[in-house]
Amino acid sequence: MLNRIRVLKNRLGTNKDGKALASNFGYLMIMQITGYIFPLLTIPYLARVIGVEGFGKIAFAAAVIVWFQTITDWGFNYTATRDVARNRDNLEKVSEIFSNVLWAKSLLALVSFIILFIFTELVSSLKENQTLLFITFMLVPGKILFADWFFQAIEKMKFITIFDLISKLIFTLCVFIFIKGKSDFILQPLFLSLGSILVGLVSIYLIVFRWKVKILFPKYKSIIITLRNSKDVFINNLLPNFYNSFSIVLLGMWGGSVASGIYDAGRKFVGISHSFMSIFIRVFFPYLSRYIDKHSIFAKLHLALAALGSLILFIAAPYLIKLFFTEEFYEAILVLKISSISIFLIALSQVYGTNYLIIQGHTKILRNITFIYSVIGFIISFPLVYKYSYIGANITLVVIQFLIGFTIMLKALKIQKKLKLEKEGC
């Protein structure tokens, strides 16, 4: 592992690129460490105060809203990041890209809210949680305003780190000050949303006044073209919801809030670990967009770290659940053990999908792979969740992640081999 890190350091390219990567990695590492600290402070408190049922209701609302977050993101977090990274010395072009993405996301958010309103009026299980869903939906405009993809593209992760710290600090303080009983569970997504919107406003201010990016008047044709150019990545991002968040929705409808709470507790530490691993993906995405020949050494380093993370989480599962949750959550130990392999499986998809196929322009290949297995996941989620509750939801997720991860890896390696042969032939 140490030898690979040394080799990677020697192959980073120019000193400027190496310093940018080191700086960005450092700031994102700070963000991630604090990202562990704040949840680790609030999880035990919330588990005791709002209980497993409150956890379940929050998880159910988040599973519904993630569909609309994915629709609003539309794949721009990758395509727009790539485009700005390649044109970051051209302020006029950057302003055009940023404006088109901003207006396209705003349009998608408006359509998403209309759809949410209609569904909450027609579906009884959603109607009874309408207020909670509307409050959780506020994360969508907050995410639009907080254009973290822009800071990633220009490799200024320092600002993402600062904004994220502010948001988490505000959220954590509010949790301890205002959430005092089981009925206060609705305040958790409210504080999270308000913190996101506040940080988003500051983000827009800095993008406009510090980096002099102009927000251009929306043009219908430009917005449509922007949406069309990112549709394959959008489909690839949306499809996993058919077996992931949809399983949680089914779990909430069939198993109730307690089952959702146990499942959510078991997945918490996987989510934290996944966020840590995403540091490498985010830091190296703009770099690999310019130096794709460095992908091989990056892949070896990232996958080795992911495998180690899965092993540690599997072994630590009983201790983590018992340490941070009350006894009513102990059934989540099995969920966490099964889920631990997700760290490695998601890494496969990101290393060879996000940080290779997307960068190389093979978005349709990625879309097709994700489509096939997402449909399979959608189909098997019904019997598995119905019969095995949260264990069924967990098995659905891991099986599909396994199929997607290894299929993407094999396809990417095949493309790499073909390109190598073509290069040698020249």
Sign of the Cα torsion 120, 123, 127, 132 reads: negative
Can you give the pLDDT at residue 20? 65
223 neighbors 170 (Cβ within 8 angstroms):
no
Q: Where are the domains of the chain?
A: 2-425
The answer for residues whose C-beta is within 8 angstroms of residue 349's C-beta and 6 or more apart is: 401, 404, 405, 408
Can you give the pLDDT at residue 88? 83
**pLDDT(200) > 70:** yes
Region 94-113 average pLDDT: 94
The answer for residues whose C-beta is within 8 angstroms of residue 81's C-beta and 6 or more apart is: 149, 150, 152, 153, 285, 286
The model's pLDDT over 216-265, given as tens digits with 9 standing for 90+, comes to 998 888 899 989 888 877 887 787 777 778 888 888 888 888 888 899 88
For 5-9, 112-116, 322-326, 372-376, which range has the lowest pLDDT when averaged over its residues?
Answer: 5-9
The answer for residues whose C-beta is within 8 angstroms of residue 322's C-beta and 6 or more apart is: 330, 333
Q: Please give the mean pLDDT across all residues of the chain.
A: 86
Closest residue by Cα to residue 133 from 194, 68, 197, 179: 68
**pLDDT(10) > 60:** no
Can you give the pLDDT at residue 284? 85
Can you give the pLDDT at residue 195? 84
- pTM (global) more than 0.85: no
Region 323-349 average pLDDT: 93
The model's pLDDT over 30-71, given as tens digits with 9 standing for 90+, comes to 776 776 677 778 888 888 899 888 888 898 898 889 889 989
Where residue 19 falls among pLDDT bands split at 50, 70, 90?
A: low
For 105-109, 153-157, 309-313, 384-388, which range has the lowest pLDDT when averaged over its residues?
Answer: 153-157
Q: How far is CA 6 from CA 10, 229, 276, 298, 390, in A?
A: 6, 38, 21, 12, 43
Closest residue by Cα to residue 281 from 106, 126, 149, 89: 149
